[in-house]
Amino acid sequence: MKILAVIPARYASTRLPGKPLISIAGKPMIERVWERVRRTSLVSRVIVATDDERIAKAVKSFGGEAVLTRADHRSGTERVAEVAVAHPDAEILANVQGDLPLIEPAAIEAAIEAVRGDEDVRVGTLAVPITNPAEIMDPNVVKTVLDFDGNALYFSRAPIPWVRDRGSPVHAKHLKHLGLYVFRREALLEFATFPQGDLERIEQLEQLRWLENGYRIRVAETEYKSVEVDTPEDVKRVEQLLAGGAAAR
Fold type of domain 3-125+178-217+225-243: Spore Coat Polysaccharide Biosynthesis Protein SpsA; Chain A (3.90.550)
Considering Cα of 90, then 193, then 205, then 120, what sign does the dihedral take? negative
Q: Where are the beta strands (DSSP E) in the chain?
A: 3-9, 23-24, 27-28, 45-50, 66-68, 92-96, 123-129, 143-146, 152-156, 175-184, 218-221
Residue whose C-alpha is closest to residue 220's, from 93, 97, 100, 110:
110
For the chain, give the number of residues. Answer: 249
Residues of the chain with pLDDT under 50: 248-249
Partner residues linked to 176 by β-bridges? 128, 143
25 Rama class: left (phi>0) / alpha (psi -120 to 50) / beta: left
The vertex-45 CA angle with 64 and 51, nearest 5°, equals 55
pLDDT at 248: 43
Query: Is the CB of residue 49 less than 8 Å from the CB of residue 11?
Result: no
Q: Give yes or no for a cis peptide into 161 (omega within 30° of 0).
A: yes
Q: Alpha-carbon distance 82 to 45, whole Å?
A: 16
Helix (H, G, I), strand (E, B) or coil at 228: coil
Residue whose C-alpha is closest to residue 120's, from 143, 97, 150:
150
Considering Cα of 76, then 82, then 83, then 89, what sign does the dihedral take? positive
Query: Is the CB of residue 195 less than 8 Å from the CB of residue 213?
Result: no
Partner residues linked to 183 by β-bridges? 93, 123
165 Rama class: left (phi>0) / alpha (psi -120 to 50) / beta: beta
Residue whose C-alpha is closest to residue 86's, from 182, 188, 11:
188
186-219: b (≥16 Cβ within 10 Å) or e:
ebbebbbeeeeeebbeebebbbbbbbeeebbbbb
pLDDT at 94: 97
Task: Give the predicted TM-score (pTM) of the model.
Answer: 0.89
